[in-house]
Amino acid sequence: MDAARPEHLTKTRRGEPVTFLEAVSEALFEEMERDDRVFLMGEDIGVYGGAFKVTRGFLEHFGERRVIDTPIAEGGFTGAAAGAAQNMPADFRVSLVNPPGRDAYPIAGFTWLLVYKNQRDEVRGKALVNFLWWAIHQGQKYAPDLLYAPLPSQVVRMVEKKIQEISYRGKPLLVSR
């Protein structure tokens, strides 16, 4: 494809400030222009342009051979996370590209929450740890309806340990479970 660069992907060239998502979009676009071996695969990244519109205009510019919409397959993402969890470090930095695992999808995303380990407000801190505990246990049943993959049990155990470390003035905020 040889369409012109979309206008919304020229802000840095014009010296205009960009948001984080715009910077990601421009960087992806530039790399795809630079190297025709680069392609993107993901849910709704083609016609829809992705959940945050990061790939808006990519399909028209690069074509469907390089911007590939994939089916929504939460089970594959759970498989990818389960495979990655086998060697996942304590800080959860993990790449889910070609992960091990019988049902692993070759490329999957991961959502992180950044939480202060030492909370400044005890009441809000307790509400936070209770919500996080609920999210990784009871909340998992809602994951498929929200188009998320449920967490594998090994990841749940790792997250439990992190939640148990959240404190207020050195006192753990999670009531024993």
What is the average per-residue pLDDT within 152-168? 91
- 54 with 97, same domain: the answer is no
Residue-wise pLDDT for 142-159, tens only, equals 887 777 778 888 889 989
Confirm whether 2 is domain-assigned. Answer: no
- 48 with 88, same domain: the answer is no
**Residue (of 57, 7, 8) closest to 32 by Cα position:** 57
Residue 74's pLDDT is 58
Confirm whether 83 is domain-assigned. Answer: yes
pLDDT exceeds 60 at position 106 = no
Domain boundary at 53, 69, 85, which?
69
Domain boundary at 50, 69, 88, which?
69
Task: Identify the band that residue 164 occupies on the pLDDT scale cut at 50, 70 and 90.
Answer: very high
Residue 110's pLDDT is 63
DSSP 107: B
- 41 with 96, same domain: the answer is no
What number of residues does the chain have? Answer: 177
At 70, the amino acid letter reads T
Residue 87's pLDDT is 67
Domain boundary at 69, 86, 109, which?
69
Confirm whether 1 is domain-assigned. Answer: no
Local structure of 102: helix, strand or coil: coil
Residue-wise pLDDT for 35-83, tens only, equals 888 888 887 888 888 878 899 999 999 999 899 887 666 555 566 566 6
User: Domain count of the chain?
Assistant: 2
Give Cβ neighbours of residue 69 (< 8 Å, ≥ 6 apart). Answer: 42, 43, 44, 45, 46, 47, 48
- 17 with 87, same domain: the answer is no
Full domain range(s) for residue 100: 74-172
Q: Give percent of the chain with pLDDT exceeding 90.
A: 33
Q: Phi then psi for 69, rounded to 5 degrees?
A: -75, 130
- How high is the mean pLDDT of the chain? 81
- 87 with 151, same domain: the answer is yes
